[in-house]
Homo-oligomer: A and B are copies of this chain.
Amino acid sequence: MSLENIRDDEVDIVIGALHSDLTTFMNEWKPMFCRFHLIIVKDPDLKEELRIPDGFNLNVYTKSDIDQVVGSSTSILFSGYSCRYFGYLVSQKRYIISMDDDCIPARDNKGFLVDAIAQHISNLSTPATPFFFNTLYDPFREGADFVRGYPFSLRSGVQCALSCGLWLNLADYDAPTQALKPEQRNSLYVDAVMTVPAAAMLPISGINVAFNREVLGPALIPALRLAGEGKLRWETMEDIWCGMCVKFVCDHLGLGVKTGLPYVWRNDRGNAIESLKKEWEGVKLMEEVVPFFQSVRLPASAATAEDCIVELAKVVKERLGAVDPVFTRAAGAMLDWVRLWKSVGSGASSLRA
């Protein structure tokens, strides 16, 4: 495939606001955000008014907007981190870049501020190479290339549909790791982008990601919600499940997933020790989820992300539903999401900015 030329007006930056005061967050990102349209979705559980500085091109969506578009006819919940998915739904842009509101721009090994937006756009606009591993990392990076032995027929690559960024300072650990190593901080800036090979599974974190909404949008779903889910990233599973679904869909459709750059700087939040008191439902669920995704195959007739999610939801219900009711609910939410995506996409909403 050839390079995609991504224009600024083809991108929406989506921010799920879990905190009312976005002043510092927005000001830190201003040099990177100012050229783009922003969608800010306020966590429907958040009571206070949002504080957003001037000087941005943005639309804010709140609980009343969500109620108006989604109504009560769905199993999808947009509370907490899941509020960002409402932004994915109402966007009209080809690309989404999504960022948690506790992240600020990171600095690279030379001390320069990292433009995470530009890096995500670069990741999405150059091909991915999921069918053979390049030991020299991203072959499309300046100064890099394919290693000796890399088959020429695979060098054109495939479309990159998802770009997963990483985290400095507070890395994306789960509750037990965070609790066992409360002092651990990530200070290693690994200067590399790579394609995650086809068939390799990974948990995608929603903290700092970008994707091609046009081809992959229906596959990014807030489907799996834990009973004891809180407002701390380490207590959630919605993006992990979403990531497993998305990678699975990408593998089926022959699309690429990249990981590595850009880094963002994650600020500390919450008390890890408190989370020790919780039951780590998500940790147990992953033991069921991994063998499931390793073994499931979709029919070749599933040719779009929507098709894939509908097919996948059926198998989730059949094979995982008996294990835990959380999976039955997830399967229902996946189907509801596809219906919602279609109805909003077909002009049912007057809210789209």
Write the residues of chain A forming the contact surface with B, with a CB cutoff of 8 angstroms. 109, 132-137, 141, 143-154, 164, 166, 171-174, 177, 181, 184-192, 196-203, 205, 233-234, 237, 240, 243, 259, 282-283, 286-287, 289-290
Contacts and interface: CB of A to CB of B under 8 A. Distances in A.
A286 B199 contact: no
Nearest to A196: B133
Contact of A133 (B143, B188, B201, B237): B201
A148 B192 contact: no
A186 B136 CA distance: 9
Contact of A172 (B133, B148, B184, B282): B148
B202 A132 contact: yes
Nearest to A150: B203
B196 A145 contact: no
Given A132-B290, A174-B149, A196-B133, A144 B186 contact: yes
A102 B196 CA distance: 32
Given A143-B187, A145-B173, A148-B240, A135 B202 contact: yes
Contact of A149 (B146, B184, B203): B203
Contacts of A185: 143
Contacts of A181: 145
Tell me the number of copies of this protein: 2
Nearest to A288: B151
Nearest to A289: B151
A264 to B, nearest CB: 13
A190 B188 contact: no
A289 B296 CA distance: 27
Q: Closest 8 interchain pairs by CB?
A: A149-B203, A197-B200, A149-B240, A133-B202, A148-B174, A190-B192, A151-B286, A133-B200
A203 B148 contact: yes
A152 B187 contact: no
A197 to B, nearest CB: 4
A190 B135 contact: no
Contact of A188 (B135, B188, B191): B191
A34 B258 CA distance: 41
Contact of A171 (B145, B149, B164, B192): B145
Nearest to A177: B145
A259 B135 contact: yes
A205 B135 contact: yes
A243 B185 CA distance: 36
A210 to B, nearest CB: 15
Contacts of A282: 149
B147 A173 contact: yes
